[in-house]
């Protein structure tokens, strides 16, 4: 059957499903049933979800869990997490409980500056362009007043606009580099609207500028877009306690554990192969909260990993030290997120998440997200340097294996009991299940 189609977006939802099922599946009826079983029975709610994106067929579910017992700056939180990976929520919860008994987490927003750029070509000298920029800079602010007045009422707006010479990288290439404060919104639409007006102002003013020749008047704007790299929108989360309080297991020596933990972090700071996996674990916690609160996990991840490479080599986002017999563990994370706008006012579970968190400001949510990443990292490194990562992870993963092999309730009980004190792996679980069935 022909797999190309014209006018797909104009088909009804039912017609889209029928075309997909008939074109790609040996059993079209079963394919259609699979898609439809994830529809919400509430028609209004389903319509809302359908309109989030284009060509919607159905809903793709992620488990939504919570990690309780987080104490952040003296305040208690139960943190929502949307994620499909086993052991992540359990690890965050365990770390929260551990640090709750040791003073909790501390978090501070260091800065909230966001960035947008207008990229353009100018065939003239930087000095001449700089003089022009100095003359018209106030126009960038005045021409965007209609867009910025509401943001300014909330204490945000355009912070500054710089002209940057990038001709050493690309011939005739310059930038308008603008900084913004968008308060409780992530601000992507606000920033991009301002940038597109900057571009129009730049082009219009250049055409009228008497000190430019005809070629210089013809500034060519390539694009105007915000950046998801926000190295000046930073939150720090940290924990600390005396070394002798660092172990809650009699079989683990606190001093030895502290030293081993710090060395594990040092390895992640200098070894990119370790750092990538190390930071992936941090993002397990961060992304789960970002998704649950309706923020853009892809933008956050891109900015975070760029930040991890800011010194020329990919490195750990977290750091640890021992000073005067006190263990300190901390993380600095760039987070451009919001609590108003976008899905935050549309998705019912996002609203649920934000209310459960006490309707936080963007800065408070930054702290919550960073703390969850730090908690996740602490749990992972603690396991790696003591019992090993697989023991806890596979205990959580075993139910996935059993469901995959359609184990009955009785079979699950027997398998779980058997592996309480035995090494767990996918093949060993399957082998034991097959023995039971014989």
Q: What is the pLDDT of residues 78-87, one digit of tens each?
A: 999 999 998 9
- Lowest average pLDDT, out of 217-231, 373-387, 410-424, goes to 410-424
Asked whether the predicted pLDDT for residue 352 surpasses 90, the reply is yes
The alpha carbons of the chain give a radius of gyration, in whole angstroms, of 27
Rounded Cα distance between 379 and 188, Å, is 33
Q: In the chain, which residues fall in CATH 3.90.770.10? A: 64-111+231-387
Please compute the mean of the pLDDT values over residues 290-313 and round it to a whole number.
Answer: 97
pLDDT of residue 249: 82
Q: What is the pTM of this model?
A: 0.87
Please compute the mean of the pLDDT values over residues 174-183 and round it to a whole number.
Answer: 97
- Which of 81, 65, 101, 87 minimizes the C-alpha distance to 388? 87
User: Are residues 375 and 70 in contact, defined by beta-carbon separation less than 8 angstroms?
Assistant: yes
Mean pLDDT of the chain: 93
CB atoms within 10 A of CB 229: 19
pLDDT of residue 406: 82
Which active-site residues does the annotation give? 85, 280, 296, 393
pLDDT of residue 392: 53
DSSP three-state, residue 31: helix
β-strand partners of 322: 327
Please compute the mean of the pLDDT values over residues 278-303 and round it to a whole number.
Answer: 97
- Which of 8, 51, 11, 16 minimizes the C-alpha distance to 32? 16
Asked whether the predicted pLDDT for residue 394 surpasses 70, the reply is no
Rounded Cα distance between 398 and 98, Å, is 25
pLDDT of residue 175: 98
pLDDT of residue 409: 83
Please compute the mean of the pLDDT values over residues 268-290 and round it to a whole number.
Answer: 98
Residue 311 CB partners (closer than 8 Å, separation 6+): none
pLDDT of residue 389: 47
- Which of 38, 8, 37, 10 minimizes the C-alpha distance to 20? 8
Instruction: Report CA 86 to chain centroid distance, whole Å.
Output: 18
User: Are residues 281 and 265 in contact, defined by beta-carbon separation less than 8 angstroms?
Assistant: no
Asked whether the predicted pLDDT for residue 171 surpasses 50, the reply is yes
pLDDT (tens digit per residue) in 28-44: 999 999 999 999 999 99
CATH 3.30.428.10 correct for 64-111+231-387:
no
- The proportion of the chain whose per-residue pLDDT surpasses 90, expressed as a percent, equals 83
Tokens 């694009």 map to which residue? 223
Asked whether the predicted pLDDT for residue 391 surpasses 70, the reply is no
Q: In the chain, which residues fall in CATH 3.30.70.420? A: 114-227
Please compute the mean of the pLDDT values over residues 258-266 and round it to a whole number.
Answer: 97
Asked whether the predicted pLDDT for residue 405 surpasses 90, the reply is no
CATH number for the domain formed by residue range(s) 114-227: 3.30.70.420
């Amino acid at each position: 059957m022909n797999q190309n189609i014209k006018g797909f977006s104009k088909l009804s939802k039912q017609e889209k499903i029928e075309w997909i099922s008939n074109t790609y599946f040996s059993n079209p009826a079963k394919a259609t049933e699979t898609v439809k079983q994830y529809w919400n029975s509430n028609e209004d709610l389903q319509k809302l979800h359908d309109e989030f994106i284009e060509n919607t067929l159905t809903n793709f579910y992620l488990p939504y869990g919570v990690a309780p017992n987080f104490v952040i700056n003296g305040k208690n939180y139960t943190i929502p997490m949307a994620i499909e990976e086993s052991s992540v929520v359990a690890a965050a919860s365990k770390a929260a409980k551990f640090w709750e008994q040791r003073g909790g987490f501390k978090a501070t927003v260091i800065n909230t500056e966001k960035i947008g750029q207008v990229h353009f070509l100018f065939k003239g000298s930087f000095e001449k362009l700089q003089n022009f920029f100095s003359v018209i800079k106030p126009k960038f602010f005045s021409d965007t007043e209609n867009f910025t007045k509401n943001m300014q009422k909330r204490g945000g707006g355009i912070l500054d606009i710089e002209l940057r010479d990038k001709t050493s990288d690309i011939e005739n290439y310059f930038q308008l580099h603008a900084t913004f404060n968008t308060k409780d919104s992530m601000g992507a639409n606000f920033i991009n609207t301002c940038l597109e007006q900057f571009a129009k102002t730049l082009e219009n003013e250049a055409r009228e500028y008497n000190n430019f020749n005809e070629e210089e008047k013809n500034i060519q704007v390539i694009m105007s877009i915000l950046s998801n790299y926000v190295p000046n929108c930073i939150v720090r989360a940290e924990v600390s306690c005396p070394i002798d309080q660092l172990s809650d297991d009699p079989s683990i020596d606190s001093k030895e554990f502290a030293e081993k933990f710090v060395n594990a972090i040092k390895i992640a700071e200098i070894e990119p192969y370790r750092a990538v996996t190390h930071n992936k674990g941090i993002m397990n916690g961060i992304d789960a909260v970002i998704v649950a609160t309706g923020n853009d996990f892809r933008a956050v991840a891109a900015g975070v990993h760029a930040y991890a490479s800011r010194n020329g080599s990919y490195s750990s986002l977290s750091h640890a030290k021992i000073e005067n017999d006190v263990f300190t563990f901390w993380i600095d994370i760039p987070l451009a997120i919001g609590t108003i706008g976008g899905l935050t006012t549309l998705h019912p579970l996002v609203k649920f998440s934000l209310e459960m968190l006490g309707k936080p400001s963007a800065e408070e949510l930054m702290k919550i997200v960073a703390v969850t990443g730090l908690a996740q990292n602490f749990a992972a490194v603690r396991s790696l340097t003591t019992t090993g990562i697989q023991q806890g992870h596979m205990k959580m993963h075993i139910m996935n294996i059993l469901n995959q092999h359609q184990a009955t309730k009785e079979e699950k009980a027997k398998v779980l009991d058997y592996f309480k004190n035995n090494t767990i792996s996918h093949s060993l679980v399957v082998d034991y299940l097959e023995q039971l069935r014989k």
